[in-house]
Amino acid sequence: MVLKRIKVIHIITRLDKGGSAENTLLTVMGLDKERYDVVLVKGLSVESNMAEDEVRTVEKDLAEAEREGVRIITIPDLVRRIHPFYDLKAFFALIKILCHERPDIVHTHTSKAGILGRWAAFLAGIPVIIHTPHGHVFWGYSGRRKTSFYIMLEKITARITDKIVALTQQEKRDHLHFCIATEDKFSVVHSGINLDRFSRMSVDFAAMKRRLGIPEGNMVVGTVGRLTPVKGHKYLIKAAGKIVKTRPDTTFVFLGDGELSDELKKMTFSLGIEENIKFLGWRPDVAEVMSTFDIFALPSLNEGMGRVLVEAMALGKPIVASDIGGIPDLVVDGENGYLVPVGDVETLAARIRRLLDDPGKREEMGNTGQRYALKYSSEEMMKKIDRLYRELAVSCCHFKE
Closest to 307 measured CA to CA, from 389, 224, 384: 224
pLDDT at 3: 63
Sequence spans of domains, the chain: 6-192+377-397, 195-375
Provide the pLDDT confidence category of residue 301 given band limits of 50, 70 and 90.
very high
Closest to 240 measured CA to CA, from 277, 208, 266: 277
CB atoms within 10 A of CB 245: 10
The CATH code belonging to domain 195-375 is 3.40.50.2000
Is the pLDDT reported for residue 353 higher than 90? yes
Is the pLDDT reported for residue 11 higher than 80? yes
Q: What is the pLDDT of residues 74-86, one digit of tens each?
A: 999 898 777 888 8
Q: 6-192+377-397 and 195-375 share one CATH topology?
A: yes
Of 35-39, 128-132, 141-145, 393-397, the range with the lowest mean pLDDT is 141-145
DSSP assignments along 236-268, one per residue: HHHHHHHHHHH-TTEEEEEE---TTHHHHHHHH
Kindly report the pTM of this predicted structure: 0.82
State residue 114 phi and psi, 5-degree precision: -65, -40
SS3 at position 111: helix
pLDDT at 1: 39
CB atoms within 10 A of CB 68: 14
Question: Is the CATH number of domain 6-192+377-397 3.40.50.2000?
Answer: yes
